[in-house]
Structure 1
Amino acid sequence: MKVFVSLFSLLLCASVGFAQSSISGIVLDENSETVPFANAVLYSSADSQMVKAEITDMDGAFRLRSIPAGEYFFTISFVGYADYRTGIFAISEGEAKDLGTIQLAADENVLDAVEVVA
């Protein structure tokens, strides 16, 4: 009986792991160059709580894994670029959502120079 319960528990945990969803994409700048180390953050649409966060790799790619089914919005931010934000979207159980290529625009409010006076 203990073996049966242990085996059942193991299979249940494995099926829950496979049922989790993911979100992926690639971040580029306005010159179609990759943007490494950008912040990719997923928020719950219900209360704007952060659910998952990831940093883009050297190729500008990101993948947020183990996302429970629900409604979310997603942001990308990086210094020198305007923040990117999606509208609200739903993720179903086991879905692998590809946001495709996300192109960031240069932030118009970036300083050209900083003068330090002592």
Structure 2
Amino acid sequence: MSNALDDLIAAVEAGEAPPIYGRADPCGLGQGRIYLQDAFNGSLDAARALHEAALPQWDWSIHDCQAFLRTGSADYDDEVVVEGINAEPARAWLLAILRAMKEGKDA
């Protein structure tokens, strides 16, 4: 599954619209897939909906063109933090979501 997430991350970083249609869900986004395209196109509402569908236990923050996600662990030694950077804040959040999902799959 990591390869599918890696490919999706690379596509979003390159500014290529992510494919959302078809029956396959190699990234494990489930119903959150419907928000992927809108988040890529700049919808913060869609990015938030995708975040809530895919990573409800992760905290988030956005600052200018950077999005940060963290596990919110009470033990900061175990806390995981991922970042997404893009001129479009929703796309930065999308990248952070995808990276957090990859982090979870690789752990």
More helix by share: 2
Larger radius of gyration: 1
Query: RCO (CA 8 Å, sep 6+): is it higher in 1 or 2?
Result: 1
Q: TM-score, normalised by structure 2?
A: 0.31
Q: TM-score, normalised by structure 1?
A: 0.29
More strand by share: 1
